[in-house]
Structure 1
Amino acid sequence: MGTEAEKDWRTWRELRERTVSGPYGPLALTGTHWLADHPDGRIEDVPGHWAEAGEAVRLTAGTGDGLTLDGAPFSGEARLGPDSAPEAARVAHGGRRLVVLRREDRWAVRVFDPESAALRAFTGIDAFPYAEEWRLTGRFRPYEQRRTVPVLNADGRERGLGLGGELAFTVAGEEHTLQVAVEADGSLWAVLADATSGTDSYRFRFLRPPAPAADGTVTVDLNRTLLPPCAFADQFLCPFPPPGNTLPFALRAGERQLSAGH
């Protein structure tokens, strides 16, 4: 039956597949529309008139547009801030959620469709078998000051990636480090590649260790290395690994790629 850690990993895997295949999970994303690319306020196949308005997006719609705002039929004008998640989006068109997004002072509208072709085609996520040897104890070394490094994103644009420290761990007697971001809840986030990237696994992956203990120690379970959102839909803006975050060995652990049936 495996160790408790392996059982937890299997539960994590099941939850992960349910999450990504949910009606508004990453497979449901069918478009990211930057408003600067639509100066006339019209987005193909998205009703209403959408315009940047300083610190908000101004939506104008008529009764025939079929939009709802906060669950009620909407017509008129509304000012919208960024949505925290598709499930929390204020605007909907039938079953679709129209998510307002802001990145570096640029506004966009994302469309999440529970009837997307990607959702219908999804058959699972391929992963390497669980191996206890990839469950490590690491140490978080915070930077004195948060750093921002420019990295290429999946859409071809360069953006700043905020980093709060480095995560050190040992594999086969050698210490390796990853530059990591620190999330609001204290957990860590690494964007990494390794010797399998682009061949036996997706071109890069994410790792989200829990918040370190008071002494800096943290469980680094590389079995939980996961696919970035852009592995599920091209419209996500995933950052590529920052300099130094390509591991020199084959990390045959964690999620590999979408199942071949996808």
Structure 2
Amino acid sequence: MSTERAEANDGPDAGDLRREWERWREKRAAAVAAPYGPLSVTGTRWIAEAEDGAIAGLPGRWAESADGESVLLEAGVADGLAVDDELLAGEVRLGEDDEGDPGASRVSYGPRRLVLMRREGQWVVRVFDPEAPSRRAFQGIDAFPYDPAWVRPGAFRAYEEGERSVLVGNADGRERGLGLAGHLIFTEPGGGEHRLQVAVVAGGGLWAVLADGTSGRTSYPFRFLRTGAPRAGNAVTVDFNRTTLPPCAFTDNFLCPFPPPGNRLPFDVPAGERNVSGT
């Protein structure tokens, strides 16, 4: 296995890494509690399931275009739906919004933002409401104490046959394909070598859905792990201290995938986020 060597002597010391992690924790909590963060999601609606174009809890008529490449939304001024901050009177054709910035979505309904997305070729409307009860009740995110031993050397190995899709369960009870690109290989603090199936995300970083010995006991049943983009020789630093809760830990209205085969580690990973405070 080709991995990075231990951190260079002139790299950040343990105190610097801990302080950086503490700042990351603060930013993470602020992002979760933002007006259009995960805590504000109150619904994820499939347009294909809208009977006669009506979506429960939302005005207007919603339908996929004939070619499936866009969504047609029809409403009157009295419905209160706005597109680009102007009340809609008639019909408009809409495309996907930037999921990373729900507050900039084109469609709004009062303070709510209605984000259009595609999942497995089907259109979805996700509702973000700053007044959501889960956002008002949020008290923070519990995490394991920072432990530099869980900053591990690793390496990325792409599948020889290219990316693959694996059918996995999702938090809403359905099974869906999960796109995966290869294995993230790392050593645990005890020295054993392990691997996780990962996807490559925007910017070239790696993303894994995993469970471990703490899952369902002292931490949420599964968590997400992200790394930076692989460096020379496909070396990757794997910082389990930055393992995060999936969005569905904050509200039931997300379609989080469960860990794919092989991503249930046979040991405890007492690092990273554990649960939403108070749960």
| TM band (smaller chain) | over 0.9
Q: What is the CA-CA distance between 1:2 and the residue it aligns to?
A: 5.6
Equivalent of 2:23, from 4, 11, 15?
A: 11
Judging by fraction of residues, say which structure has more strand.
1
Match of 2:130 in 1: 114
Match of 2:157 in 1: 141
Which amino acid is 1:198 matched to?
G
List runs of 5+ in structure 1 lacking aligned partners: none
Equivalent of 2:174, from 152, 157, 164?
A: 157
> Does structure 1 conserve the Cα–Cα contact (< 8 Å) formed by 2:14 and 2:148?
no
Paired with 2:180 and 2:119, the residues of 1 have a C-alpha distance of 17
Q: What is the CA-CA distance between 1:34 and the residue it aligns to?
A: 1.0
Equivalent of 1:218, from 236, 246, 252?
A: 236
Paired with 1:241 and 1:89, the residues of 2 have a C-alpha distance of 30
Equivalent of 2:139, from 118, 123, 143?
A: 123
Paired with 2:178 and 2:212, the residues of 1 have a C-alpha distance of 19
Q: What is the CA-CA distance between 1:120 and the residue it aligns to?
A: 0.2
Paired with 1:5 and 1:230, the residues of 2 have a C-alpha distance of 28
Paired with 1:51 and 1:161, the residues of 2 have a C-alpha distance of 26
Match of 2:267 in 1: 249
Equivalent of 2:80, from 56, 59, 66?
A: 66
Q: What is the CA-CA distance between 1:147 and the residue it aligns to?
A: 1.5
Superposition misfits of 4+ residues, deviation over 2 angstroms: none
Is 1:76 the counterpart of 2:90? The answer is yes
Q: State the percentage of identical aligned residues.
A: 60
Paired with 2:121 and 2:115, the residues of 1 have a C-alpha distance of 16
RMSD: 1.3
Greater shift in the superposed pair: 117-126 or 33-42: 33-42
Paired with 2:224 and 2:103, the residues of 1 have a C-alpha distance of 23
**What SS does structure 1 have at the residue aligned with 2:159?**
strand
Greater shift in the superposed pair: 151-160 or 117-126: 151-160
Paired with 1:190 and 1:105, the residues of 2 have a C-alpha distance of 22
Paired with 1:137 and 1:199, the residues of 2 have a C-alpha distance of 27
Q: What is the CA-CA distance between 1:45 and the residue it aligns to?
A: 2.1
Paired with 1:59 and 1:188, the residues of 2 have a C-alpha distance of 36
- 1:227-250 residue CA offsets vs partner (Å, 9 max, x unmatched): 001111111111100000001111
Q: What is the CA-CA distance between 1:115 and the residue it aligns to?
A: 0.4
Paired with 1:34 and 1:162, the residues of 2 have a C-alpha distance of 21
> Does structure 2 conserve the Cα–Cα contact (< 8 Å) formed by 1:39 and 1:51?
no
The residue correspondences of 1:230-241 to structure 2 (distance < 5 A) are 230-241=248-259
Which amino acid is 1:209 matched to?
T
| Residues paired across the two proteins, number | 261
The residue correspondences of 1:20-35 to structure 2 (distance < 5 A) are 20-35=32-47
Q: Give TM-score scaled by structure 2 length.
A: 0.91
Paired with 1:30 and 1:112, the residues of 2 have a C-alpha distance of 6
**What SS does structure 1 have at the residue aligned with 2:28?**
helix
Which amino acid is 1:6 matched to?
R
Equivalent of 2:70, from 56, 71, 74?
A: 56
Q: Give TM-score scaled by structure 1 length.
A: 0.97
Greater shift in the superposed pair: 63-72 or 16-25: 63-72
Match of 2:187 in 1: 170
Which amino acid is 1:3 matched to?
G
Is 1:259 the counterpart of 2:273? The answer is no
Which amino acid is 1:65 matched to?
D
Paired with 1:112 and 1:123, the residues of 2 have a C-alpha distance of 19
Which amino acid is 1:240 matched to?
F
